[in-house]
Structure 1
């Protein structure tokens, strides 16, 4: 990742801001002075002021042709380069978190976005904002301040696309390498499952993705480009597809049958009823039997908490009952998310969001 000292785009932008012309900038680049780091050590070491004739010689072979304004511009650019170099040397001595961040300057950032538009012709980049910790890429445990709404497959795909573009912008891996990993995850949701099992859901996809990033954090020592031009993160993403400890999270799970038992218990009891001649006598005994020993250990089907929802909230923050069917995989066909039906509000029983509990990403 290019810092302000190594970025050619930042060097060009700073030179033009200080008043140098495009021919003068091209002359500097022809001499191999294409960034701040090289310019800082071209004439003297940082801390030693170069002479006026030496500065003029960078702009023209005949120093008499260099005007006072042009000399002022190259002197300002040289001062910036030497000051930044001196500041970079002092930073590692303090060993602070700020010194460990790799800064991506706005000029370099804008240049990379333009390059993305040329390379990724089939992707519309307008209207998307890519923010990476205020132009800094850091890897550490922090408390999340913002949440990305992921309640369906489309929102999950869009979130994956934004991450692929951000990683391509920071040049830690290519867009194609990251999208190959994303497609591998999303394709699992379309794969047919064995009888009695269901395909992986979004919760399993997110769990697999998190496990993959943890595995790469353990294996990768650096994200810098190798001598052969390859990026370590791209190779690690490809290796995740064959890692059993990561792909284990995508194993199809059995279909839960506990939620259908309360509805099927009543018909079974009717099927086992005695002959019509004895029904009246049995019916007289049913109320007393229901209140006595016969009902012990068998709670009524009405209001019984399904196995899939045990441990979750039954009421929202306002005390309103929440619909069980909406939060389970079978769903509720009476209303949409954020509304309500006769059985209660259609909101998540985990985080109270406008999505079912089985699609909730909250741990």
Structure 2
């Protein structure tokens, strides 16, 4: 029976680059374990030259170069599907898969701004991160003075953060 050493047996994969790198490291590890010195001896011969062939034929190195079982076709298809980019992935009209998570450990607040405030360019928070009372800005909030605050937030303008409502901004 003749063996074809250039091709792996059926059901096994060719030797990978990572196996070759690991085997190369193992060759030098075997020589280190034997105590082989890289310097030439006084006679002029190098111990590494003679020990290298023995290290290449060692059990540890040969075992690292054995063909591994090939991946099943289904696994290859699954990996291919994971790495493939859909044709419309970069389409401008394609929707994303969700909202970003933001910075880790930071609680993000989301305020729904009333349309009247949004149209005038107002915001929901002061630069310091304090909530702004929308009732004060749209009509009147009796729960606190101008520039003060209530349970809903600070009584400041949503646009310039002055001690007036956005309804009085610019007048």
TM-score normalized by structure 1?
0.21
Task: Pick the structure with more helix per residue.
Answer: 1
Whichever of the two has the greater Rg, that structure is 2
TM-score normalized by structure 2?
0.41
